[in-house]
Structure formats: structure tokens, C-alpha cells
Amino acid sequence: MSESTKKAASKVKDFTEPAKEFSGVVKENYLNGVDFTFSLLEQNIKVLNSQVDQYFDLEEEFVSNVSEFYKNVPKNLPFAKDLPYGGGVEKVAEQLDRYTALRKEQVQSARSITEKYTKDARAAAEENVEKAFSLFTDYFNFLNV
């Protein structure tokens, strides 16, 4: 190997080592940013879930009170048989119970979708960062030949 080739190879090596170190630091910062972003998202989801739970507690209490009212309405009143759902006050109470059950199922579905999305999005983001920086590593290794 000639002297000029050795000097050129040492210059490339001198360049690639700090660049690899810098690339590693940047990669770590990107991964920390991804982790922070998704941690923040998860905390916001927890707060939202607690608010939804409180809302449902209030809604269940309301539905329970309305159902009790309809169950306690005397059956011999003239309007008691003409209530919605064609079956009088008992049917109203049943429909309110079905409404509550439906709302719980809707929220549970939304929660499971949100949890799956968050988990998959975090994994995809981390994988993308890993792949992007593996390209830098491959490039630096190519230069280092």
C-alpha cells in the first residue's frame, strides 16, 4: 500500500469513528424521544380512562335512579301503559339497563383498540429508528473498508 493510500485510509477512519459515536448518541436521543412521547400518550390515556370511569359512574347512578322511578310508578295510572317501547314502565327500565350495558361494551372496545394501537405504534416507531440508524452504521462500515 502506498503512503498516500494509508493517509487517505487513516483520514476516513478518523472521520468515521466520531461520526459513529455521534450517530449512536443521536439514535439514543431519538429512542428517548419516542419513549417520552409514548409515555406521555399513555399517561393521557390513563387520565382519559379515569374521567370516562367517573362519567360512567354518574351515568349508571342516573340510569339506576330513573329505572327505580319507572319500576315504582303505580301500574294503574293512565299513562303507565302508554310509555315508550310498548310495554309500560317495566320496558323502560329494561331498555335503560340495556343502554348501560351497550355503553360499557363500547368503551371497553375503544379502550382495547387504543391500547393495541399504542403498543403497536410504539413498537413500529422504535423499529423505524433502529432501521434508520442501522443504515448509518452500514454506510460508515462501507466507508471504513
Distance CA 17, CA 19 (A): 5
Better pLDDT: 63 or 86 = 63
Q: What is the pLDDT of residue 87?
A: 54
- Gap between the Cα atoms of 50 and 10, Å rounded: 60
Tell me the residue type at 19.
A
Rounded average pLDDT over 40-66: 89
Averaged pLDDT, 43-60: 90
pLDDT tens track for 66-112: 878 777 766 666 665 555 545 566 677 778 778 888 988 998 999 99
* Sequence spans of domains, the chain: 9-141
Q: Is the pLDDT of residue 127 over 80?
A: yes
Q: What is the DSSP string of 34-78?
A: HHHHHHHHHHHHHHHHHHHHHHHHHHHHHHHHHHHHHHHS-TTST
